Structure 1
Amino acid sequence: MPRSSRYADARCAGQRAWSRRFLKAVAIQPLNALTGHGCINIAAGREDALSKITAILGSALFFLVAPAMLAGVIPWSITHWEFRPPFLEAEATRLAGLAFIIAGVSGLLDSFARFALQGLGTPAPIAPPRNLVVSGLYRYVRNPIYVAVVAVILGQAVLFADRHLLGYGALIWLFFHIFVIAYEEPTLRQSFGAEYESYCANVPRWLPRLTQRAV
């Protein structure tokens, strides 16, 4: 057989062997070939990272627009952060107000972070999370952000002993309650179905449980 023919046969055999290995990798081991170490896994990782960055930026912006305004700017416009004679003529009440503020701010930061990192979205209705967030404070109460905002407002009312701020806090809670009943809960039921129904059955809307419930 001429040398050129032997070379051609060897090349064809090599190509057939490579084709068999490729088909085996794709047909017999598709998960390992495509999702374990392949381009799809890399693209998915980049997409998740981009989603988290977008969610973090969106949540930070919404934090400045909503909670910071409702629990910071507006209360300041009412009290100017001026101390009045304490409620019940007891200075110790101011410590209770300070505790409410610290707890409320901590709850806000934690809940916003979970919306961005776990829910891959924001608390804003125009950019809701992809995943239902049920960890952290959400294991104790369904609306920790709203509870935290009201806690910060009422904490300032007690700290500065301002009755007008108490009334403002009550109105904010009433607004949150109507919004949750009329819009937020129906929307979440439509988005997450049985998962959200199970969550509602185990976790209260407003009064936090002292122990977490499995959801």
Structure 2
Amino acid sequence: MTFLPLKIPPLLLAGLTALLMLLPVMLRTGHISGWHGLRSPLLVITLALFFAGAIFCLAGVASFRRARTTVNPMRPLQASTLVQTGVYRLSRNPMYTGFVLLLGALAMVLGNYLSALCIPLFVSYMNHFQIGAEEKALSELFGDEYRAYCQRVRRWL
């Protein structure tokens, strides 16, 4: 599967995963349902996942913009700066972490176990075909500085 690395934009993959998560609910009910079934504690958790996911995504993009480096995940060799500040002190992949949190919020809304099983598939694909290729490129670009960063900061959280 050497043709897959860096081929599907992560935002598109997150969207496709969300659509895949909707499928079991649509097949079972004929429509998208869920919000009406969330009770107060679950609603709080769902909203927390949603807002944390959105913040992680936006903070990741903002950090890249401040550093004036590429935000394009399909071209990691175009990175001009190794961003290690802001949300990048918590996660080497805050935008992808944000996507997982947003997908988690969607799973809570849908209340369907089959939908939730799509999240580990997303993470697995990202680890193997996106992040692995990015890490290889960043290691080539930034050498020991990047490897030291990897030792300090976790891939996800």
- TM-score normalised to structure 2 length: 0.75
Superposed displacement of residue 137, structure 1: 1.0
Are 1:148 and 2:91 matched, yes or no?
Answer: no
Whether 1:117 and 2:60 are equivalent positions in the alignment is no
For the 8 Å contact 1:154–1:166, the answer to whether it is kept is yes
RMSD, aligned α-carbons: 2.5
Structure 2 residue aligned with 1:75: 18
- Structure 1: which amino acid aligns with 2:127? H
Q: Point out where structure 1 has 5 or more consecutive residues left out of the alignment.
A: 1-64, 209-215
Secondary structure of residue in 1 paired with 2:117 = helix
Aligned equivalent of 1:132: 82
Aligned partners of 2:118, 2:58: CA distance in 1, in Å?
A: 22
Question: In the alignment, what sits opposite 2:124?
Answer: 174
Tell me the equivalent position of 1:52: none
Q: Percent identity?
A: 26
Question: TM-score, with normalisation over the residues of structure 1?
Answer: 0.57
- 8 A Cα contact 1:119 1:132, kept in partner: no
Deviations 1:2-35 (A, max 9, x none): xxxxxxxxxxxxxxxxxxxxxxxxxxxxxxxxxx
- DSSP-derived class of the 1:179 partner: helix
Q: Decide whether the 8 Å contact of 2:50 with 2:102 is kept in 1.
A: yes
Q: Deviations over 1:46-75 (max 9, x none)?
A: xxxxxxxxxxxxxxxxxxx642x4445652
Structure 1 position 117, deviation (Å): 2.5
Structure 2 vs 1, CA of residues 84 and 102 (structure 1 numbering), >3 Å: closer, same or farther?
closer
The residue that corresponds to 1:195 in the other structure is: 145
Detail structure 1 runs of 4+ shifted over 6 Å in the superposition.
none
